[in-house]
Amino acid sequence: MLILKLSDKLFIIIHLRISGSLFLGKKEGRYARIIFKLSDGRWLQFCDGRVLGELRLVNDWRELPIVKTMGPEPLDLTRQGFVKLFTGKKTKIKPLLMDQAFIAGIGNIYAQEAVFCAGIHPQREANKLNAEDLVRLYNCLLKVLREGIKNKGTSADSYYQLDGSKGGNVPYLKVYQRDNQPCLKCKTPLKRIVVAGRGTTFCPHCQK
């Protein structure tokens, strides 16, 4: 969720979903759906090819059902808070990481990268992981998210930066879309499976 504060009682709330992006430029961007003409002459544009994203003008973003049902923000969680959240959950770890009501903001790319970094099989049930595994996963999750932010996003699919250029994180991905290529830790060919309906690439040797 992107929260743009216009005043204390007026906010624009944006959820980009699968194909949305924000573009700041003086000519109309591809798939521009809503254009805000800014006082400095530039145009802030909400572009969305598949029209699955959401943009709302609201008085209080905290009251939106989508916000109320969302889990905690991972970069705000402490190590203890993360371990407590995941302990005893019977769901497989990768779909659990991607469950927005459980923990917010983690998509298919960063979930795969985090479990690879932590050496955890994407289909392991969370309740089979001990505190040490969960701490490792916490550190890895923060590492891959911070790396993605530092590199200005992963433009593997439809993500673009505000100026329309691609983010620089794809070369740093270790497993996502690297099916059959050698694992960067052990050289075993990476394998692709489907976990809870989503394609998942992992190392059968490093991830247990």
> Does residue 109 contact residue 156 with C-beta atoms inside 8 Å?
yes
Q: Which stretch binds Zn ion (CB under 5 A): 15-23, 72-80, 133-141, 196-204?
A: 196-204
Span from 68-76, 106-114, 124-132, 195-203 in contact with Zn ion (CB under 5 A): 195-203
The residue (of 37 and 208) whose beta carbon lies closer to Zn ion is 208
Query: Which residues sit opposite 15 in a β-bridge?
Result: 54
**CA atoms of 83 and 134, how far apart (whole Å):** 6
Shortest Cβ distance from residue 206 to Zn ion (Å)? 3
Q: Quick check: 191 and 202 in contact, CB under 8 A? A: yes
Nearer to Zn ion, 77 or 140 (CB): 140
In the complex with Zn ion, the residue whose CB is nearer, 137 or 183, is 183
Minimal distance in Å, beta carbon 33 to Zn ion? 43
Residues 168-187 that bind Zn ion (CB under 5 A): 183, 185-186
Minimum CB distance to Zn ion, residue 188 (Å): 5
Torsion of CA 162, 112, 137, 67, to 10 degrees: 50
Beta carbon of residue 112, minimum distance to Zn ion (angstroms, whole number): 13
Q: Is 40 helix (H, G, I), strand (E, B) or coil?
A: coil
Sort 60 into a burial class: Cβ within 10 Å, 0-12 / 13-18 / 19+.
exposed
Report the run of H or E that residue 32 belongs to, with start and end: strand 32-37
14 contributes a contact to Zn ion by CB under 5 A:
no
With contacts defined by CB under 5 A, name the span among 32-40, 129-137, 151-159, 199-207 that binds Zn ion.
Answer: 199-207
Looking at residue 158, the DSSP 8-state letter turns out to be S
Interacting residues with Zn ion (CB under 5 A): 183, 185-186, 188, 203, 205-206
